[in-house]
């Protein structure tokens, strides 16, 4: 939908106030100018960043996706993060916790094997002093040229506030469906004319479904209108996490662990110190159905205790550290585990921006940028997003079956 003049500027409703919806709103409002910005609305059912975008780690890597089609998107996004952090500081006075980091793979155990002394073995000497627990080995995975972090909740909220400051609107409401009409005499198919929010229709030319794992609802909203199969099944994977506040300062060393409990069970929690002195630790993946709303996500005390035990075994300063948050959330996943970014075949004005799995914080800026390009200029210019097009799921499309 190219905008050539004032009359052609689309009314855009973004469904979902997670980081993908927030980044899309931010780039639309910034690149489109005030006339576009004031036609952009984000609809969020609970609160901005109430789900994975507020409960994620915020780890960023330049090249860890290079072996997948996500590589170019991730590289662009990695470059955009420090730019965004600087912009948001300058324009809104907001600190989103961006910094470059050191990243290590750490092998840890709860019970040190008989005959081996506790503490660090050979190969672990390069770790900082605060990692003083049962570490049996380590290796460097990334340095400050290739790995970084942000605070996901702060970034999501700052992006939304940036969009609002430019003229966009953020409203609280539950999106229940899309209003579609026949596209017109010359065009086949249907087009978006509105978004149904809490029983009322908000007029819209463009609807962006960016509801994380809840984007699955769009299958029903677009059924019979979209090309068959074009809206994929989006599932969620549940994770628990804690935010600890140790008494002693911790350095900017991110730890990807392979950890063995005394029971023999092995797990892979991730430990991310943050610039504010807290330490985020996540783990315990579970394949569970996504609850109807983010407000219904259940936090299981046992899984939180498990994560704290790992943290305390690796670093004594984390053992009794006060807990600032204990939480759970779902990361969104498409059938082929690739993001889903782009127009829905068969329905003009319907876009999907979801399925970012464990890299949604990293890839949000580039996703938001290309979403703005597709909506305002008719195509993505900054990076090739064809591998992520919903069109790949259309039944009969080349490779559609193979990818599922």
Query: Taking CB under 6 A as the rule, does residue 342 contact ligand FAD?
Result: no
Query: Taking CB under 6 A as the rule, does residue 351 contact ligand FAD?
Result: no
CB closer to ligand FAD out of 1 and 15: 15
The piece of 135-143, 198-206, 324-332, 368-376 that touches ligand FAD (CB under 6 A) is 324-332
Instruction: Name which of residues 31 to 70 contact ligand FAD (CB under 6 A).
Output: 43-46, 50-53, 56-59
Instruction: Name which of residues 256 to 285 contact ligand FAD (CB under 6 A).
Output: 282
Q: How far is the CB of 166 from ligand FAD (least distance, A)?
A: 19
Q: How far is the CB of 114 from ligand FAD (least distance, A)?
A: 35
CB closer to ligand FAD out of 3 and 192: 192
Closest to 233 in 3D by CA, of 217, 257, 253? 217
Q: How far is the CB of 160 from ligand FAD (least distance, A)?
A: 10
Sole binder of ligand FAD in the list 256, 359, 388, 393 (CB under 6 A): 359
CB closer to ligand FAD out of 18 and 246: 18
Q: How far is the CB of 7 from ligand FAD (least distance, A)?
A: 29
Query: Taking CB under 6 A as the rule, does residue 210 contact ligand FAD?
Result: yes
CB closer to ligand FAD out of 239 and 259: 239
CB closer to ligand FAD out of 136 and 311: 311
Q: How far is the CB of 318 from ligand FAD (least distance, A)?
A: 17
Q: Which parts of this chain interact with ligand FAD (CB under 6 A)?
A: 15-21, 43-46, 50-53, 56-59, 174-175, 210-214, 239, 241, 282, 294, 329, 331-332, 354, 356, 358-362
């Amino acid at each position: 939908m190219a905008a050539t003049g004032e009359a052609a500027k689309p009314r855009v409703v973004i469904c979902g106030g997670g980081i993908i919806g927030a980044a899309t709103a931010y780039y639309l409002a910034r690149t489109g100018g005030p006339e576009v910005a004031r036609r952009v609305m984000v609809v969020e059912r609970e609160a901005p960043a109430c789900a994975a975008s507020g409960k994620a780690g915020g780890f960023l890597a330049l090249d860890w996706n290079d072996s997948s089609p996500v590589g170019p998107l991730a590289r662009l996004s990695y470059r955009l993060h420090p730019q965004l952090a600087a912009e948001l500081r300058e324009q809104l006075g907001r600190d989103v916790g961006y910094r470059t980091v050191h990243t290590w793979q750490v092998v840890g155990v709860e019970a040190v094997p008989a005959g081996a002394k506790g503490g660090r073995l050979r190969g672990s000497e390069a770790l900082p002093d605060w990692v003083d627990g049962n570490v049996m080995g380590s290796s460097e995975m990334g340095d400050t040229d290739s790995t970084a972090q942000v605070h996901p909740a702060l970034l999501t909220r700052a992006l939304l506030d940036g969009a609002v400051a430019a003229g966009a609107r953020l409203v609280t409401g539950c999106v229940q469906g899309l209003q579609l009409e026949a596209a017109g005499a010359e065009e086949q198919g249907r087009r978006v004319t509105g978004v149904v929010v809490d029983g009322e229709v908000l007029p819209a030319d463009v609807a962006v479904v960016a509801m994380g794992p809840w984007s699955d609802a769009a299958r029903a909203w677009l059924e019979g209108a979209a090309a068959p199969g074009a809206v994929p099944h989006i599932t969620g994977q549940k994770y628990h996490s804690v935010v600890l506040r140790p008494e002693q300062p911790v350095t900017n060393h991110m730890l990807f662990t392979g950890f063995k409990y005394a029971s023999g069970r092995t797990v892979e929690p991730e430990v991310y110190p943050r610039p504010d002195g807290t330490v985020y630790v996540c783990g315990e993946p579970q394949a569970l159905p996504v609850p109807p709303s983010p407000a219904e996500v259940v936090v299981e005390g046992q899984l939180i205790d498990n994560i704290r035990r790992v943290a305390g075994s690796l670093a004594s300063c984390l053992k009794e550290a006060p807990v600032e948050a204990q939480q759970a959330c779902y990361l969104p996943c498409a059938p082929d585990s690739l993001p889903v970014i782009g127009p829905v075949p068969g329905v003009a004005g319907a876009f999907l921006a979801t399925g970012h799995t464990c890299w949604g914080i990293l890839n949000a800026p580039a996703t938001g940028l290309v979403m703005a390009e597709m909506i305002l200029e008719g195509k993505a210019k900054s990076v090739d997003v064809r591998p992520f097009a919903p069109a790949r799921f259309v039944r009969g499309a080349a490779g559609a079956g193979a990818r599922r």
